[in-house]
Amino acid sequence: MRTWRVGTFSMGASLLFLGLFLFFSKLLGLNLVQVMTAWWPLLLVVLGIEILLYLFLSRQEKPVLKYDFLSIFFVGVLGTAGILFAILSTTGIMGKVEDVMAREERSFELPAFAYKTDESIKRVVVRTVGYDMTIEATEEKEVSMFGTYRVQTAKKAGLLKSADDMIAAKQKGDTLYLNVKTLPNEIGPFYSHGNVAATILVPKDVKLEVIGNDNSLTLKPRMLANDWSIESTSSIVVNVQASSNLKVAAVGAREISGKDGDWKVSEKADSEDHDQSMRKNAVYQSGEGKYQINIDNAYSVSLNSNQ
């Protein structure tokens, strides 16, 4: 006579239910994590039904439950896995894992920014972060910014909803202060860093001060009609026109590059540097050099002059 051990039927039913859940999740496009989180309580139901059936169908006066411990252990492993999925889902960790697994690099346009200027604004101060940026003089009477950013995300919509998410503008007296912000980043083991390629347009007749953050900067002064001051950037590329009335002065740079004869360079040792490397002071002038671009504390300065 065949002996019925509690747990054998439960293991078979568990495998059957799990197979059906996985099959229909693929067929109907259901979320696999949600399926794994939701199905495991059926294990307890099936095991309870099996025990009741054993007691009900047993012909013994005092039935004694006999267990298939290997099967129950297997059912317990499946149930524990389901409970772990449920706990991870409740704490939000599973959602983070799903997001990371579904991520891909996407590019989005920066929300357009524009700030109208008038005669009351004499100076613009831009504080940047660690992104490569281009600053260009323009005929327009406004300060504007546009560009793109690239991030790893599972979402098709951009992270930035408005220009306020990327740049803060505040006018104090005759000065307009612009603070460029970093992209939203996740903290912890799921950290993701984005990149930004932005262009800032500044009226050519307004004084400009740029405070960098060891980032790369490209300057396009064009027909500049005021002074610019740049500090604390890692590298700067200056595109100048030979017909401009401009003087570019770089102080304390490690590397100076450009066409032969563009720069007048002098060198001096930096006593505060452990490697005793030479720092360079360099000057470029076009025309009478009425308007100046002063560059301070940059590692490398490159000049592209258009004859």
Cα separation of 18 and 85, whole Å? 14
Cα separation of 95 and 155, whole Å? 13
| Structure tokens belonging to residue 182 | 């970093």
Contact status, residue 226 vs residue 289, Cβ threshold 8 Å: no
Place of tokens 């496009």: 29
Nearest to 43 by CA among 9, 87, 67, 69: 9
Report in angstroms the alpha-carbon separations of 174 from 92, 167, 170, 257: 48, 19, 11, 36
pLDDT in tens, 233-271: 899 999 988 788 899 999 988 899 988 778 888 865 555
Number of other residues whose CB lies within 10 A of the CB of residue 201: 20
Cα separation of 204 and 227, whole Å? 9
Domain boundaries defined on the chain:
8-101, 104-306
Contact status, residue 174 vs residue 120, Cβ threshold 8 Å: yes
| Structure tokens belonging to residue 58 | 């047993």
Contact status, residue 78 vs residue 43, Cβ threshold 8 Å: yes
Number of other residues whose CB lies within 10 A of the CB of residue 2: 3
Number of other residues whose CB lies within 10 A of the CB of residue 235: 19
Cα separation of 141 and 208, whole Å? 14
Q: What is the dihedral of CA 140, 145, 147, 149, to 10 degrees?
A: 180
Q: According to the model, what pLDDT value does residue 96 have?
A: 64
Nearest to 146 by CA among 120, 169, 197, 112: 112
Please list the ranges in the chain whose pLDDT falls under 50: 1, 188, 274-276
Number of other residues whose CB lies within 10 A of the CB of residue 210: 24
- pTM over 0.75? The answer is no
Nearest to 244 by CA among 282, 273, 281, 284: 284
Helix (H), strand (E) at residue 90: helix 69-91
Cα separation of 240 and 246, whole Å? 8
CB-facing half-sphere around the CA of 246: CA atoms within 13 A: 27
Amino acid identity for residue 95 in this structure = G
Torsional class of 214: left (φ above 0), alpha (ψ -120 to 50), beta (otherwise): left
Report in angstroms the alpha-carbon separations of 17 from 75, 117, 227: 12, 68, 75
Contact status, residue 124 vs residue 200, Cβ threshold 8 Å: no
Q: According to the model, what pLDDT value does residue 85 have?
A: 67
Helix (H), strand (E) at residue 87: helix 69-91
